[in-house]
Amino acid sequence: MDNVTRCGWVSNDAIYQQYHDEVWGRPVYDNLELFAKLCLDGQQAGLSWITILKRQQNYYQAFANFEPSQIAKFDDVQVELLMQDSGIIRNRAKIRSIIGNAKAYLLMEQQGENFSNFLWSFIGAEPRINHFADLSEVPTQTPESVAMSKALKKKGFNFCGPTICYAFMQAVGMVNDHITDCFCYKSCRDVSRGTTAK
């Protein structure tokens, strides 16, 4: 789309624009989709999101389509193979974090906890519609993302600090942080108002 106003963090890269226009800020409730997104957001620690976004499909291929029950079976041999995979970020700690996150997810499931309900509970189970006119107004973390980070770490998740958690909350539509003159602001606001957490 040409001649439209987007949030200031979006570059001219087509993949970034598509992500912003069609994905970012739109509410996600599916357990596995949320798990995958949390893991991917953790991979961007110290990097830009576009670096991970361009490798997203490679991550899905490398990590069994982010199916926790499969990832949890990965052993040291699998870790070494992943360390040779140029399609992902070859960082041992980050690779192991996804495996650890899968085990933590499965433990929650075994204990009868719904992952989506757990995550959405930090904002009262409904999308929060913000009204930021400028990118400089958008926070990098909030009390809710701090609380989510602490709770996730307590359950065994890694690479989920408060800033990563807030980026995750923005991406999956827990908060609508499109700036108010962004052409996506109204559509994300409207879809948020029309949905409730499952």
pLDDT digits (tens, 9 = 90+) for 95-133: 999 999 999 999 999 999 999 999 999 999 999 999 999
Q: 3-state class of 128 per DSSP?
A: strand
pLDDT at 40: 98
Report yes or no on 117 lying in a domain: yes
Q: What share of the chain is helix, strand, coil (3-state, %, to 5)?
A: 55, 0, 40
Q: Mind listing the pLDDT tens digit for each residue in 176-197?
A: 999 999 999 999 998 877 754 3
Report yes or no on 47 lying in a domain: yes
Report yes or no on 183 lying in a domain: yes
Report yes or no on 109 lying in a domain: yes
Total-model pTM: 0.94
pLDDT at 196: 45
Quick one: which H or E segment has residue 129?
A: strand 128-129
**Domain, as residue range, for 177:** 14-193
- In sequence order, the β-bridge partners of residue 129 are 176
Report yes or no on 23 lying in a domain: yes
pLDDT at 71: 98
Q: Looking at beta carbons, which pairs linking 2-10 to residues 24 or more positions away fall under 8 Å?
A: 4/183, 5/181, 5/182, 5/183, 6/182, 6/183, 6/184, 7/135, 7/177, 7/178, 7/179, 7/182, 7/184, 8/135, 8/179, 9/135
Q: 3-state class of 176 per DSSP?
A: strand
Report yes or no on 198 lying in a domain: no
Q: Token pair 């009262």 is at which residue? A: 124
DSSP string, 78-117: HHHHHTT-TTS---HHHHHHHHHHHHHHHHHHHTT--HHH
| CB-based burial label for 17 (10 Å; 0-12, 13-18, 19+) | middle
State how far the Cα of 103 lies from the Cα of 96, in Å rounded to an integer: 11
DSSP 182: S
pLDDT at 21: 97
Q: Mind listing the pLDDT tens digit for each residue in 136-159?
A: 999 999 999 999 999 999 999 999
Report yes or no on 8 lying in a domain: no
Number of separate domains in the chain: 1
For residue 176, the domain's CATH number is 1.10.340.30
Report yes or no on 66 lying in a domain: yes
Across the range 33-61, mean pLDDT stands at: 96
